Structure 1
């Protein structure tokens, strides 16, 4: 296939005299002066600032045809390139509206291959719109609520040396239940000028008896919105029950490195085909659908829960939800029929692994019957050090339809690993045997146990609600010995042949726990856990406690090299990497630091620099292009090896590549976004 990449002979550099004039007109010092002296740049100043980003100081490459046209052609080319951000983006991409029109045109012309191509392109437009425009929610603490580390008591200021800012979060336990390492999630907002990388910089510390000590934390969901950056922070909290405690979130340290915390949560695999392990179980997700396929309980003989047999032609999984039967009892439509996940997101970290999948379920004769009526969004959350995992579900009707039957929870276990069943009704007490008639529509938990091995699997229903559904059921059905599968549980939230109106939404939040269980002590354990999960620790924006006596903590926050104490200043290393350009963006003059390809940078005492980087997408998987590769397109660019080994004191460079977290345009710096017209 012929490519459109220009060869060196098709490129021409502007002569030195013009380059000097251009450099003088768009000098970095002047651009920086305007940026700092007038934060609200007028349109002309913005175009000038964008100009230096697009053209760069190394020179300007022109199309070959411009060679004989003199300065008029140059000026015309510059005017075309130095456009407003919106104009630049429009030149390089196509809008949602444009693609819709193209799809309609191709459909009218019965060019179905073109329809498929455009539909895929439209999907990617939706992904990018979500990245840039999706509402992240209201932050617990806004960007304007912060303190400076320099104003903290001397002992705390010394402990947090290297960081400039902090926020205060309050936590309160209201149920009077002792908590140990409970995961707490908060959404926070930050001023963009105060941070370089939230993932590298954020540290969470608890105030305890006058000391501050770091706790394990995890940062994810980082987005840029205007002049702010937002992210979710999850951290582990202890509480004796009924207490209020304060935590400090530190940030504003460009020398910070990705923190490393000890955790029993281990994840292997790619995409949603993951094996997730903690001290209690090993969960294996289906490579086809991402459903929970198997679970090994890590106690005694290690029973493995699985669903066997050919099912109904689909891949069997112990989590067999979510599905519905179409009108007139015609066919089953289920996410278990997915050949692959239509869409998914993965979050990995020391506290929690999140696997979120969503899309329309498929029919048994997909794509012959391909209804787009009920969108299903499912999220698993597996935690470090906890014997349970969460499942969040949202089923939204985008079109009115009739459901003969609908299930939002189903579990299948082959091989008879359990000897008895259990359930919880309206009185929130665990009982054994089959659900009685009085509680069949008020099920709050279900489960199975083995009286001999003491293994168990219990589902706790924490939230179950609906919008625009007049009669919503909390019913469930259990069969300890189902002939075709084994042990089976399922929940039907709707009546048979129910009209589901457009806009109807079904919500659920469940927890599934596996613990050593006996008939004597098991019920009390499960009831206590459910009560705890129904009353999580609450968070609120707080202020520093007054009158507290700050105490010294000899174990400081900064690791080696994070407090301007490295053998080589960290800024020198970062500046060197700015000489590594993404040469496939020919005239943007944008480097891998501005693009956010570098996730972490560290150096040990022996002169070894370690770089953790990513690539923008799976179609460009080879980071070696930047590490040691060569290109004739951009003469001013350096490889990572050239840039870093050229620094006195650097003995060796090690570069690792990762796909987690997946790169997106929120990782691009403000300078990079200006150069790219985003």
Structure 2
């Protein structure tokens, strides 16, 4: 096995325009990343300049004079087109700067309803800018690092029939801890000309003694940056401890369908009003705030953790953080006061459900007191097959302000479900009872257990760090009988016991915690908790790798492709996809963009009896009716556009068309093709 700092040329092969194959002279795995990002930024600038190109206006041709040799007119015409195309986006949208000017004008004129409308419009401008320009990070493997499946040993080529390209990565376990189905996440880059849909095409495969074995994977966070598409790939990995293992990531199969994997992770609900279940627990998030409201531990009779009663007039949840108390104890400012999440993102898949929420906390008299001082970003991650979930957070001070105290972790359980408490000190060992004075500011975890039912809930602190604030505390306190109705644990990360201290501008506080529910006894529970914390603090390392010397490529029993994914579809999928290009989004009128270009079609499959199934989305929830495209409505392009049913049933062998609509993943401009982006001037 060649480590990541070696030459990468043995891995990759380049495909010539005539279909022949040659070795790729790509060097170090990360060598071209900076060049690629520079190219991406340049292409973004070019995209702004060129606007629609010559694709944007239907039926537009060159004037007669252009067809001759009047070079001055050609130059004038091109300049006019470029100028109009440069202005196209401005003509149909407005910039952040323009909206800010309009909002200032409305504010000066005391037109506060207009201020509210413009603030919402600015928010949506921010969403689109995030989609287009947010830095996804540095990929483990970039688009130019790949191999050609045709160069693999024959047994592997046959097994991976239908896929054209692959990448190689490796995992190393360094802590000597056996792992089973551990989630691993990597950021990968792909050339746009080598893939149609990352969500449909990516398959992760482990190399095991010459055998290729597909592992459960999940693709999310897809973005386009210049000539590359990037995405996060999460997959489940096994390791006996202290092993290095190699994985192939296959892609480049236009016939691929969205993979279905067996999972115990079930998600019910919409938005952040979710109920998330695996084999260990059921977690219910608040439909108001998205906080973890209650949890059912799936053991014995199923103890339910909840925070009952009206609390302090907020909606009760077992997770009460994050918040701060303003100077002089004037008021509390907290995310528990949110009437709804100011902003959120949801990721759903067979391995993990991610719920991310952020915004400024509200006061008890919101919006009278409406400080924009501490931005709070909180993320939950719930996994399949694991007895724990993660919570990560980032709190950033956008201006200096004075507080009395701050909390970044607080849990409340009503009904006395536990009989004892535990905590982890600086020595990484579990202890029983209350935190002692010596460890007041060095707590590494907390928890509660029931000696009779063996139920437990333990928080493990995996990361607690800050910028600008030098005296971050790892302390906290526990009240086992809080007002005689429940159990409370709370952590204060800033200066303890000093009234009215300043949080400086730019200060950042981060945390990552794991919350575990396992069968716990006083005899074996501490050892389980300590071992799990060590495991979570020492995840497996992922790195780019050349393909190890293949001594014996063995034939696997089951091919990578499902029926219909290896060119064996009863009806050509290429023909079906091409037919769908005749389905135009008629609300874009003269742009003449079709559903495939726009990325509305998420999946396409063919059943044995001539039934074609289509999974599609809509661009936003203001356009919820996919039936507009399925069987027809008022048609603008009567001589051009077809309905999905009409286009597909024209193909011989298609007996029936079934179309389902989904909102996951949420559509955005990164799903549009390059051709579509040119037409729309993006």
Same-fold status (TM-score > 0.5): yes
CA distance in 2, matches of 1:558, 1:158: 10
CA distance in 2, matches of 1:48, 1:123: 23
Aligned counterpart, 2:28:
none
Does residue 658 of structure 1 match 2:674? no
The aligned runs of 1:258-273 (5 Å cut-off) are 258-273=258-273
Q: 1:628 is matched with which residue: 628, 631, 655?
A: 631
CA distance in 2, matches of 1:317, 1:149: 51
CA distance in 2, matches of 1:86, 1:78: 12
1:50 Cα deviation from its structure 2 partner: 3.1
Report SS of the residue matched to 1:170.
strand
1:616 Cα deviation from its structure 2 partner: 0.3
CA contact (8 A) 1:579 1:591 kept: yes
Aligned counterpart, 2:511:
508
Does residue 595 of structure 1 match 2:620? no
Of residues 637-646 and 627-636 in structure 1, the stretch that sits farther from structure 2 once superposed is 627-636
Report SS of the residue matched to 1:404.
strand
Change (3 A) 1:355 1:49: closer
Change (3 A) 1:523 1:255: same
Aligned counterpart, 2:174:
174
1:88 Cα deviation from its structure 2 partner: 1.6
CA distance in 2, matches of 1:394, 1:614: 32
Report SS of the residue matched to 2:648.
helix
1:347 Cα deviation from its structure 2 partner: 0.3
CA distance in 2, matches of 1:231, 1:54: 32
Q: Please list the CA deviations of residues 196-220 of structure 1 after superposition, one character each: whole Å capped at 9, or x if unmatched.
A: 0000000000000101110000000
CA contact (8 A) 2:255 2:566 kept: yes
The aligned runs of 1:121-270 (5 Å cut-off) are 121-270=121-270
Aligned counterpart, 2:88:
88
CA contact (8 A) 2:51 2:681 kept: no
1:84 Cα deviation from its structure 2 partner: 6.0
The aligned runs of 1:240-639 (5 Å cut-off) are 240-483=240-483, 485-495=485-495, 496=498, 497-635=500-638, 636-639=640-643
Aligned counterpart, 1:671:
675
Report SS of the residue matched to 1:51.
coil
CA distance in 1, matches of 2:56, 2:363: 51
CA distance in 1, matches of 2:418, 2:463: 26
CA distance in 1, matches of 2:198, 2:53: 25
CA distance in 1, matches of 2:627, 2:345: 26
Change (3 A) 1:429 1:84: farther
Change (3 A) 1:358 1:383: same
Q: Which runs of 5+ in 2 are unaligned?
A: 1-16, 18-41, 63-75
Report SS of the residue matched to 2:584.
coil
1:630 Cα deviation from its structure 2 partner: 2.1
CA contact (8 A) 1:218 1:233 kept: yes
Change (3 A) 1:121 1:485: farther
CA contact (8 A) 2:169 2:542 kept: yes
1:166 Cα deviation from its structure 2 partner: 0.5
CA contact (8 A) 2:423 2:435 kept: yes
Change (3 A) 1:461 1:639: same
Change (3 A) 1:677 1:140: same
1:631 Cα deviation from its structure 2 partner: 1.8
CA contact (8 A) 1:53 1:590 kept: no
Does residue 646 of structure 1 match 2:650? yes
1:632 Cα deviation from its structure 2 partner: 3.6
Structure 1 runs (4+) deviating above 6 angstroms are 40-44, 46-49, 76-82
CA distance in 1, matches of 2:152, 2:431: 54
1:48 Cα deviation from its structure 2 partner: 11
1:78 Cα deviation from its structure 2 partner: 12
CA contact (8 A) 1:600 1:612 kept: yes
Count of matched residue positions in the alignment of Structure 1 and Structure 2:
623
Change (3 A) 1:473 1:52: closer
CA contact (8 A) 1:164 1:250 kept: yes
CA distance in 2, matches of 1:366, 1:94: 30
Change (3 A) 1:173 1:324: same
1:526 Cα deviation from its structure 2 partner: 0.3
For the aligned residue pairs, the C-alpha RMSD in angstroms reads: 2.1
Report SS of the residue matched to 1:128.
helix
CA contact (8 A) 2:416 2:485 kept: no
CA distance in 1, matches of 2:584, 2:245: 47
CA distance in 1, matches of 2:50, 2:351: 44
CA distance in 1, matches of 2:46, 2:341: 44
Report SS of the residue matched to 1:621.
coil
CA contact (8 A) 1:307 1:485 kept: no
Provide TM-score, normalisation by structure 1.
0.89
CA contact (8 A) 1:309 1:485 kept: no
Q: Please list the CA deviations of residues 459-496 of structure 1 after superposition, one character each: whole Å capped at 9, or x if unmatched.
A: 00000011000211101110111006510000001114
Q: Which runs of 5+ in 1 are unaligned?
A: 1-31, 33-39, 61-75
Change (3 A) 1:373 1:557: same
1:454 Cα deviation from its structure 2 partner: 0.6
Q: Please list the CA deviations of residues 18-57 of structure 1 after superposition, one character each: whole Å capped at 9, or x if unmatched.
A: xxxxxxxxxxxxxx9xxxxxxx99999x979833353159
CA distance in 2, matches of 1:628, 1:604: 20
Report SS of the residue matched to 2:598.
coil
Change (3 A) 1:558 1:56: farther
Report SS of the residue matched to 2:57.
helix
CA contact (8 A) 2:55 2:678 kept: no
Aligned counterpart, 1:36:
none
Q: Please list the CA deviations of residues 112-131 of structure 1 after superposition, one character each: whole Å capped at 9, or x if unmatched.
A: 11111111000100010000
1:91 Cα deviation from its structure 2 partner: 1.1
1:402 Cα deviation from its structure 2 partner: 1.1
Report SS of the residue matched to 1:182.
strand
Report SS of the residue matched to 1:131.
helix
Change (3 A) 1:166 1:43: closer
